[in-house]
């Protein structure tokens, strides 16, 4: 058991949003990657593409609720052991995670399926309206944007996880513990 005890912690609602959506996000990323690169053997009849879109589209809606909630609830202040510059960097990193990983990436996927004229079933059973008229000429560009954004976000999330581990094991502060589930 860790000896580090947080002086202040995220609220249960913040933890629920963070860990629930982190799980969905990582599963969606792995499904998208396997769907795109696994070939017919791993993605027969586009089953994984269907699953990818079903899981990933739930993130769009959860993000709306999370943002509404977040605007009314500030996170605990960062520890004074972090320099002002590091604190600024941490805030900017979180802002980028919200803006790119939780908003822009799902919307780019939604646009990709819209241009391709392919349905998206939220959580596997609710049809989402397509954002545009189908336009085959734009599918390749939309796919490129979605793929590059997905890779950028994958690296960003990896950096986020490594930063949390560095805080815990090297800096030995309470950053990870204040987001601890229980």
Residue ranges that bind ligand HEM, judged by CB under 6 A: 18, 22, 25-26, 28-29, 32-33, 35-36, 49, 52-53, 56-57, 59-60, 70, 75, 78, 90, 94, 97-98, 101-102, 105-106, 109-110, 112-113, 120, 146-147, 150, 157, 160-161, 164, 175-176, 178-179
Q: Are 12 and 19 in contact (CB under 8 A)?
A: no
Q: Is the Cβ of residue 1 or residue 114 nearer to ligand HEM in the bound state?
A: 114
Task: Please count the CA atoms within 13 angstroms of the CA of 124 that sit on its side-chain side.
Answer: 6
Output the smallest distance, CB 114 to ligand HEM, in A: 8
Helix, strand, or coil (residue 126): strand
CB neighbour list of residue 143: distance below 8 Å, 6 or more residues apart:
112
For residue 98, what are the contacts with CB-CB under 8 A and spacing of at least 6? 63, 67
Name the residue number minimizing CB distance to ligand HEM: 109
Beta bridge partners of 123: none
- At closest approach, how far in Å is the CB of 35 from ligand HEM? 4
Minimum CB separation from ligand HEM for residue 41, in Å?
A: 13
């Amino acid at each position: 058991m860790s000896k580090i005890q947080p002086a202040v912690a995220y609220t249960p609602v913040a933890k629920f949003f963070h860990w629930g959506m982190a799980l969905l996000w990582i599963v969606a990323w792995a499904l998208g990657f396997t769907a795109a690169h696994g070939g017919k053997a791993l993605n027969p009849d586009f089953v994984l593409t269907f699953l990818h879109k079903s899981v990933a589209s739930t993130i769009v809606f959860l993000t709306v609720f999370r943002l509404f909630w977040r605007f009314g609830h500030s996170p605990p202040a960062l520890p004074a052991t972090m320099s002002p510059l590091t604190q600024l960097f941490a805030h900017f990193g979180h802002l980028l995670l919200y803006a790119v990983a939780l908003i822009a990436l799902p919307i780019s996927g939604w646009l990709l399926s819209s241009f391709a004229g392919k349905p998206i079933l939220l959580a596997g059973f609710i049809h989402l309206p397509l954002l545009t008229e189908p336009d085959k000429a734009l599918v390749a560009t939309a796919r490129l944007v979605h793929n590059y954004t997905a890779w950028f976000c994958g690296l960003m999330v990896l950096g986020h996880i490594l930063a949390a581990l560095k805080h815990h094991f090297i800096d030995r502060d309470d950053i990870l513990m204040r987001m601890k589930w229980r």
